[in-house]
């Protein structure tokens, strides 16, 4: 988008405010606003801010940083009362005007540059699947003398909000929610509202539907989009989902496992590489019509799968979802249409145009820029080093349900970590592939491990409510 085009948008919508957004390491969004008359000035000079106030970004003695807006990300904010123009930014050092080592958007930019420079491909295309719950109530209490939470849903007869009587009998029990129809899919119109806003900001949606969880679990899936575009659009999509939910007196969560013994929220990533407009993952007559490059790409992701989870599943809650069952992939192998696999080859994607792989382990607590960059780097490492995913090394392909195998046979498969702490330890031991092309760097990785370990300690140090059931009366 050019400056002239942005100015036309400003004039047409009578915009008086620019709202600049940026992400910290963990994926939290921050913003700063300024009058629209300063647009050209900030495009040249940026806006200064204190990087030491953003967790893990800078130290106090060297905190001066600037935000440089990216015109290509400009949209009219769909939620503010006063018309404003949103733009995403790069976090830059005040003196160099170059994206800093720990700016997530700059990591993604470097990953795209590395892909092109590798000569392997010049584009990567992605489909993210957004899974989330829409609750009527989210009551959370964590203190020294009390702890607990309560989530409710008017869709689930066993989980009704306080005071809700279900007098029309549309709350459901004793069945799965997958593709459940209206009137039982009570928030289909809310989901449609989200989708229309998402499409209005230039992100085409493939479909949306009710997911398996009866307490209003949802899914929205995009069309294939180029890496640089989709990573930015995903930040907008998550924000749209949260804001639409709130405007409809609901609350959205992407937590991997908000409810015990109920389906969790994943974030599956479909990936495809192209060179000169041609899908290099496709080759007729190979296994699932996959090319050698596609198999090597899979091999790289599976080889580095344990360390990848530090970025694709970066919460203590992530590993409460990653348990056998619930279609949660816990073993590092691939297969055709196999939903127990870490990497599934969609059986319906049969043409050169659609052929792709699907990484199923990730979840929505990830920072999209970092998680997707890490996946790309692992796959490219597989192609560069010709890492073959074979049955001999336990990577497959396996086309049956591994959870039905004998324990002895399952033991031969490599498993993902069972905790965030274990995933971070794997990242300590295996991160060289991320450093290629200076895409990631040791400063970022060390800070990531340090910041995420704070979450591990914070959770480990607190008594769990269920421990009261187990031990209070002993």
34: enclosing H helix or E strand: strand 29-35
- Helix, strand or coil, per DSSP, at residue 375: helix
Q: How far is residue 99's CA from residue 65's CA, in Å, rounded to a whole number?
A: 10
Adjacent-strand bridge partners of 442: none
Which positions are catalytic?
A: 50, 129, 131, 211, 219, 268, 339, 358, 360
Q: How far is residue 167's CA from residue 164's CA, in Å, rounded to a whole number?
A: 8
Q: How far is residue 459's CA from residue 415's CA, in Å, rounded to a whole number?
A: 23
At 13, list the tokens.
């919508």
Give the residue from 444, 426, 310, 419 showing the smallest Cα distance to 375.
310
What is the distance of C-alpha 24 from the center of its chain?
14
Please state, in angstroms and as integers, the Cα–Cα distance from residue 416 to each residue in 296, 333, 373, 426, 450, following that order: 19, 10, 19, 10, 21
Contact assessment for residue 272 and residue 124, using Cβ atoms and an 8 Å cutoff: yes
Please state, in angstroms and as integers, the Cα–Cα distance from residue 199 to each residue in 181, 202, 229, 367, 397, following that order: 23, 5, 13, 22, 36
Please state, in angstroms and as integers, the Cα–Cα distance from residue 276 to each residue in 108, 121, 187, 310, 454, following that order: 21, 8, 42, 33, 45
């Amino acid at each position: 988008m050019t400056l002239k085009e942005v100015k036309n948008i400003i004039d047409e919508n009578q915009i008086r405010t620019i709202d600049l957004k940026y992400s910290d390491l963990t994926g939290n969004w921050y913003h700063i606003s300024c009058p629209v008359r300063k647009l050209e000035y900030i495009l040249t000079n940026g806006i200064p801010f204190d990087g030491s106030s953003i967790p893990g970004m800078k130290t106090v003695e060297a905190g001066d940083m600037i935000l440089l807006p990216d015109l290509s990300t400009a949209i009219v904010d769909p939620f503010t009362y006063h018309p404003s123009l949103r733009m995403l930014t790069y976090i830059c050092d005040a003196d160099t005007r170059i994206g800093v080592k720990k700016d997530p958007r700059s990591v993604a930019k470097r990953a795209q540059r590395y892909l092109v420079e590798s000569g392997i491909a010049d584009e990567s295309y992605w489909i993210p699947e957004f899974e989330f719950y829409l609750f009527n109530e989210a009551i959370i209490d964590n203190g020294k003398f009390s702890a607990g939470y309560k989530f409710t849903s008017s869709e689930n007869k066993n989980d009704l909000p306080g005071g809700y009587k279900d007098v029309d009998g549309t709350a459901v029990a004793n069945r799965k929610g997958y593709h459940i129809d209206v009137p039982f899919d009570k928030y289909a119109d809310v989901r449609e509202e989200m989708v229309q806003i998402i499409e209005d900001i230039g992100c085409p949606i493939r479909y949306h539907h009710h997911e398996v969880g009866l307490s209003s679990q949802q899914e929205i899936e995009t069309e294939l989009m180029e890496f640089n575009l989709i990573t930015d659009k995903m930040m907008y999509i998550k924000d749209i989902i949260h804001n639409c939910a709130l405007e409809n007196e609901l609350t959205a969560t992407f937590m991997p496992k908000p409810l015990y013994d109920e389906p969790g929220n994943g974030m599956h990533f479909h990936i495809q590489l192209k060179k000169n407009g041609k899908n290099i993952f496709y080759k007729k007559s190979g296994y699932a019509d996959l090319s050698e490059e596609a198999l090597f790409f899979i091999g790289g992701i599976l080889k580095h799968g344990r360390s990848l989870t530090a970025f694709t599943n970066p919460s203590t809650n992530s590993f409460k979802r990653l348990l056998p069952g619930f279609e949660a992939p816990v073993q590092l192998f691939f297969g055709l249409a196999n939903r127990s696999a870490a990497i599934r080859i969609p059986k319906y994607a049969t043409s050169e145009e659609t052929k792709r792989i699907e990484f199923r382990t990730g979840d929505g607590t990830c920072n999209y820029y970092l998680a997707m960059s890490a996946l790309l780097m692992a796959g490219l490492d597989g192609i560069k080093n010709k890492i073959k995913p074979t049955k001999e090394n336990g990577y497959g392909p396996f086309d049956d349900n591994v959870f039905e195998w004998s324990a002895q046979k399952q033991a031969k498969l490599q498993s993902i970590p069972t905790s965030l702490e274990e995933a971070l330890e794997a990242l300590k031991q295996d991160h060289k592939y991320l450093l290629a092309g200076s895409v990631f760097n040791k400063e970022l990785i060390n800070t990531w491990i340090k910041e995420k370990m704070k979450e591990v300690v914070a959770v480990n140090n607190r008594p769990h409510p269920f421990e009261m059931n187990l031990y209070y009366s002993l």
